[in-house]
Amino acid sequence: MGRRAPVRVAIIGAGLGGIAAAVKLRKRATASVVIYEQSAGVGGTWFDNRYPGCEVDVHSHAYSFSFLKYDWPRTHATQPELLAYAEHVVERFGLAPLLRLNTRVTGLVWEESTGTYTLSTEHGDRAEFDVVISALGLLNVPRYPEWPGLETFAGPCFHTSRWEEHDLTGKSVAVVGTGSTAVQIVPAIAPAAARVRVFQREPGWIEPKHEREFTARERWVFRNVPLAQRLNRARIFHQGNRRFKGYDVTSGRQRRMRAVCEGFIGAAIADPATRAAVTPQYPWGCKRPVISSTFYPALNRDNVELVAHAVDHVTPTGVVDATGRSHDVDVLILSTGFQPTRFLASIDVKGRDGRSIHDAWRERASAFMGITVPGFPNFFILYGPNTNGGVSIIAQLERQAEVVVGAVRRLARAGKRASIDTSPSAARRFVAWIDRRMGRDASAMNAGCHNYYHDPAGHNVTQWPGGHLAYALATRLLARFGLRTRT
């Protein structure tokens, strides 16, 4: 017997993952939806990150939803443009009434007798839902370094994801890190600062971004020719799937990717010592490749210095590197990354028999297709373990949202108190397959550099071992066979 009322769905997070889930649920399922967001607006990482130079490193036509054509002004969108895009999608699909902003979800408890979750918020409110979707994202818990003396620094000191507005004109600034965020910040602040020191623990492979404004003619074509934007998107995904072959260190694609990066270093950096310092000694793809056209040229500026050493400790007036050299600075900017292996760190989820999901993940974080965990019925994760990658995370999120929609439709047909749980054997087989794919000796991800892929025990818990096409096929053909309906 079918349900008399729509399936009640809570979405935690109003970033692009939560927005995708809400749109697809409203279009394809009979559900009442509430979206909880801890920030004051939608957009997720593009609401939280507002540092100078912030923009995406994936082409705009790939880093956007397949179900909505959009008039992008440039090949790679800036943070304000991405935030405007998220707000546009919310308005276009009427999601605003579903939002509960400035509301952090703190806990979920499964009630077996009712087949529902009790959701708790920081404000002490409680609500009951049939289905809960976590769309908290992957890169949202900042990693703060444990340098001795950090708390004694007398000047402004902050993490890039918690950017503080300070007038850097005439200031000596230290930027610690050379990942995707730092390479955007350094060129943006260098013209104003008196001096910028960039502390590099380990170099990363950087590729030219080739970003630019679309011409007026290109924008007209993408707006008015029905298939133009879709065909360009398909081209980008095709190139991305080919690019993934470079993660095999024995492949010709690996050699070509290294040659591109080495050629970029040679052409963009004037000083031979700096060229040597930024050239990694590990394969392309061991770290997440960085895409930037402006960072290397910024290192040629007289007021920018690359310090090719890790930070050892901090003093009230500066930073001391691993060689013992002291650097006096006025402002300390921490581009020290996030804690991507700490999934659902901000929320306590209790499933069957009161078991916490963090207890289930004590040895490692894992989920079937990166979406569901055995023993946690009617609970779905977007951007979960081993789903990062695949050309564009937006496409990955769409596929995950479609799995959720299919499950909600099944619940609607199954009747009140029905639940969908994950087959433990299917989950084990999926994790074993991930480990076989990730554990290959020829994988660049295992080449020994410092990357964010692995948990403390050495498991690769963040990356999807293929392109987006493989994930799309897997979620479409295999996901339903690992999910069991119980009435």
In a domain? residue 224: no
- Residue 38's domain comprises 7-141+340-486
Q: Point out the domain boundary residue: 334, 363, 396.
A: 334
Q: How many domains does the chain have?
A: 2
In a domain? residue 284: yes
Statement to judge: residues 316 and 349 lie in one domain: no
* Residue 196: pLDDT over 70: yes
- Residues 71-102: tens digit of each pLDDT: 999 999 999 999 999 999 999 999 999 999 99
State how far the Cα of 90 lies from the Cα of 81, in Å rounded to an integer: 14
In a domain? residue 452: yes
In a domain? residue 283: yes
* Mean pLDDT of all residues belonging to the chain: 95
Statement to judge: residues 475 and 347 lie in one domain: yes
Statement to judge: residues 207 and 319 lie in one domain: yes
Statement to judge: residues 128 and 203 lie in one domain: no
Statement to judge: residues 403 and 286 lie in one domain: no
Residue pair 424/380 in contact (Cβ under 8 Å)? The answer is: no
pLDDT of residue 480: 74
State how far the Cα of 367 lies from the Cα of 297, in Å rounded to an integer: 42
Burial of 480 (0-12, 13-18, 19+ CB in 10 A): middle
User: Percent of the chain beyond pLDDT 90?
Assistant: 89
Statement to judge: residues 351 and 419 lie in one domain: yes
Tally of residues, the chain: 487
DSSP string across 31-58: EEEEEE-SSSSS-THHHH---TT-B-SS
Instruction: For residue 140, name the pLDDT band (cuts at 50, 70, 90).
Output: confident
* Residue 283: pLDDT over 90: yes
Statement to judge: residues 302 and 350 lie in one domain: no
State how far the Cα of 233 lies from the Cα of 150, in Å rounded to an integer: 45
Residue from 182, 171, 233, 183 nearest 209 by CA: 183
* Residue 2: pLDDT over 90: no
Residue 344 neighbours by CB under 8 Å, 6+ apart: 134, 136, 357, 358, 381
Domain of residue 178, CATH code: 3.50.50.60
Statement to judge: residues 359 and 322 lie in one domain: no
In a domain? residue 61: yes
Give me the sign of the Cα torsion angle 210, 397, 42, 105. negative
The two structure tokens encoding residue 246: 């470079």
Statement to judge: residues 172 and 101 lie in one domain: no
pLDDT of residue 258: 97
Statement to judge: residues 137 and 156 lie in one domain: no
Statement to judge: residues 352 and 291 lie in one domain: no
pLDDT of residue 4: 59
In a domain? residue 2: no
Statement to judge: residues 66 and 199 lie in one domain: no
pLDDT of residue 487: 73
In a domain? residue 43: yes
Q: Point out the domain boundary residue: 300, 334, 368.
A: 334
Q: Name the one residue in this structure whose structure tokens are 């997070």.
A: 13
Q: Point out the domain boundary residue: 334, 354, 374.
A: 334
pLDDT of residue 486: 83
Q: What angle do CA 118, 120, 121 make, to 5 degrees?
A: 155
- Residues 427-452: tens digit of each pLDDT: 999 999 999 998 877 899 999 899 99
Give me the sign of the Cα torsion angle 390, 394, 397, 401. negative
State how far the Cα of 316 lies from the Cα of 144, in Å rounded to an integer: 18
In a domain? residue 222: no
Burial of 253 (0-12, 13-18, 19+ CB in 10 A): middle
The two structure tokens encoding residue 119: 């959701």
